[in-house]
Amino acid sequence: MLQRLSEFDLGIFVPHQHDERTGDFQRLPDDVMQVEAGCKVSFQNAQEIVSQADRFLPVAWRWQAGAAVPASMCEMVVPEELDDPGRLVKHKMPAEH
């Protein structure tokens, strides 16, 4: 399966989080999703993030209750150099130091 997915630049990912106290691997609850914003990852209420489709792009999915649902989202940002502030782009690369 991984080899077939690689033909489309896709991979396999395990939706998870870690216990804040012990660091143990934990299953990601159904109502929580991984969110990347500002090059940082957090875990947020899935419904709140999914409802902001103009701001967040799904980048990973999982099978839940008989359907594919987003498991991870990436915040879209507008680079300052764009003339059209209404145009969203999918990612902004960090500046090289």
**pLDDT tens profile 34-89:** 999 877 899 999 999 999 888 888 999 999 999 999 999 998 875 555 555 555 55
85 domain-assigned: no
Inside any domain, residue 94: no
Determine the Cα–Cα distance for residues 13 and 61; give it in Å rounded to an integer. Answer: 9
Which residue type sits at 71? Answer: A
Number of domains in the chain: 1
- The pTM score is 0.71
90 falls within a domain: no
The reply to whether 83 falls in a domain is no
- Per the domain annotation, does 92 fall within a domain? no
Assigned domain for 91 exists: no
Determine the Cα–Cα distance for residues 23 and 41; give it in Å rounded to an integer: 16
Retrieve residue 25's tokens: 């691997």
Is the residue at 87 inside a domain?
A: no
**Of 15, 3, 16, 25, residue with least CA distance to 68:** 15
Structural domain boundaries, residue 51: 2-75
Q: What are phi and psi of 49, to 5 degrees?
A: -75, -45
